[in-house]
Amino acid sequence: MILGIETSCDETSVALLERDGSVRVNLIASQIERHQPFGGVVPEIASREHLQHLFPLVTRALRDAGAGWNDVERIAVTAGPGLIGALLVGVAGAQGLAYGLGIPLTPVNHLEGHIFSPYLQREGASIPRPERFLSLVISGGHSSIYDVRGGSVTMLNRTRDDAIGETFDKVAKFIGLPYPGGPQIEKHAREGRADPKRFPFPMPHFKEASIDFSYSGIKAGAIRLAREHHVSATGDPGVLADFCATFQDALFDQLFDRLDAVWPRLGAPMPAEVAVAGGVAANGILRERMAAWGAARGVTVRIPEKRYCTDNAAMIAFAALQKGDGAGDPRRVTARSRIA
């Protein structure tokens, strides 16, 4: 079995996967409540929480799987990008375990964890991964489209400023909704009948022909509109619902605008599938729109189960298995907050 460890941000997660990629256990200790009073993740609190929860979670994962230390053949740990103090807890812990057990330790790029996550098993059955697929990673820290061939990943675009999840969170915070803002905005967007013209959000385009994302304009526009129309978590619920619905649509419209721009640029053989991952992929409205986008083009769209969209250790162990480069010396692994 492979043991996965993820501590890059505000969830401590430990997973045990079989060599074939099937998930035996995936445990997540969320710290959301600890950070909520501050309206966002406090790095020092995150590190301490990881320290407190990591080893008890590892012990529980082994117990839940009915496994012992002898069954662990390899460890995979998130080495970055993320909060450096948080990463260090996972990396140092994994190093100690791997060194003590005399087994290899594989550092995993958190983004590659998300990229391969749509191919994690569903209801016990593994999903075959095509030779080439297009990956859309939309999370609190990243918004990018990748071209994935075999195990190699090429970034096609990125955000020039804020990530999409970060934009959800910042605007939600401004109108007084609790952290994390994404699920809150989705909930209010579903309530009531949103009038799409009440809050006009323009689509950002750059002067030069670029397919990059940019969310700072929508964020600034949202804050201005929220101020003008007195949008607030404690204010008129109809206004709040309309605002959340049109704000969310504007964020997603940009994703589809860029996907439409990227798709015809891809050379033959075309990617067989589009795989969407990251916390924002848990959004039900996006999931419906993605399915419709794929159906209109005859493209298979893969989105992980919601529990594998937000940060989890199963995707970290799974990415290590996909890359297949297992024989790492635990002492050589280092945590990096940024990865070029």
Q: Which residues bind Zn ion (CB under 5 A)?
A: 139, 311
Candidates 147-155, 198-206, 219-227, 277-285; binding stretch for ligand KG4 (CB under 6 A): 277-285
Which of 95/109 has CB closer to ligand KG4? 109
Binding mask 172-191 for ligand KG4 (x = CB under 6 A): --------xxxx--x-----
Residues 59-98 that bind ligand KG4 (CB under 6 A): none
Query: Residue 51 carries which DSSP code?
Result: H
Residue 118 makes contact with ligand KG4 by CB under 6 A: no
* DSSP, res 159: B
User: Is 113 an interacting residue with respect to ligand KG4 (CB under 6 A)?
Assistant: no
Q: Torsion over CA of 257, 259, 261 and 267, rounded to 10 degrees?
A: -170
Q: Which of residues 305-334 bind ligand KG4 (CB under 6 A)?
A: 310-311
By the rule CB under 6 A, 162 interacts with ligand KG4: no
Closer residue to Zn ion (CB): 139 or 322: 139
Give the Cα-Cα-Cα angle 153, 154, 156 (nearest 5 degrees): 140
Exactly one of 5, 9, 17, 57 binds ligand KG4 (CB under 6 A); that residue is: 9
Q: One-letter amino acid identity for 314?
A: A
User: Of 122, 215, 121, 108, whose CA–CA distance to 153 is shortest?
Assistant: 108
- Give the contacts of 63 (CB within 8 A, at least 6 positions apart): none
Q: From the list ligand KG4, Zn ion, none, which binds 147 (C-beta under 5 to 8 Å, kind-based)?
A: none
**175: nearest Cα among 216, 230, 217, 251:** 230
Q: Of ligand KG4, Zn ion, none, which one sits near residue 183, judging by CB under 5 to 8 A according to partner kind?
A: ligand KG4
Sole window of 45-53, 125-133, 228-236, 272-280 interacting with ligand KG4 (rule: CB under 6 A): 272-280
Closer residue to Zn ion, CB minimum distance, 11 or 186: 11
Residues in a beta bridge with 134: 147, 274
All residues at 6 or more sequence positions from 256 whose CB lies less than 8 Å from its CB, including other chains:
289, 293
Residue 147 in the binding site for ligand KG4 (CB under 6 A) = no
Q: What is the DSSP letter of 13?
A: E
Q: Does 279 bind ligand KG4 (CB under 6 A)?
A: yes
**141 lines the binding site for ligand KG4 (CB under 6 A):** yes
Smaller CB separation from Zn ion, 41 or 175 = 41
Six-digit token pair at 74?
A: 């390899």
Q: What is the DSSP string of 88-129?
A: HHHHHHHHHHHHHHT--EEEEEHHHHHHHGGGS-BTTB--PP
Q: Please identify, using beta-carbon distances, which residue of 242 and 311 lies nearer to Zn ion.
A: 311
* Size, binding site for ligand KG4 by CB under 6 A: 20
**Distance (Å, whole) CA 210 – CA 279:** 25
If the CB atoms of residues 293 and 308 are measured against ligand KG4, the closer one turns out to be 308
C-beta of 53 vs 188, nearer to Zn ion:
53
Peptide bond into 196 cis (omega under 30): no
Name the packing angle between helices 181-190 and 164-174 (round to 10°): 70
Minimum separation from the CB atom of position 71 to ligand KG4 (A):
28
Q: Residue 14 in contact with residue 4, Cβ under 8 Å?
A: yes
- Determine, following the binding rule CB under 6 A, whether residue 282 of this chain makes contact with ligand KG4: yes
- Choose between 182 and 330: whose C-beta lies nearer to ligand KG4: 182
Min dist. Cβ of residue 239 to Zn ion (A): 32
CA distance 315 to 147: 19
Q: Which residues bind ligand KG4 (CB under 6 A)?
A: 9, 139-141, 165-166, 168-169, 180-183, 186, 278-280, 282-283, 310-311
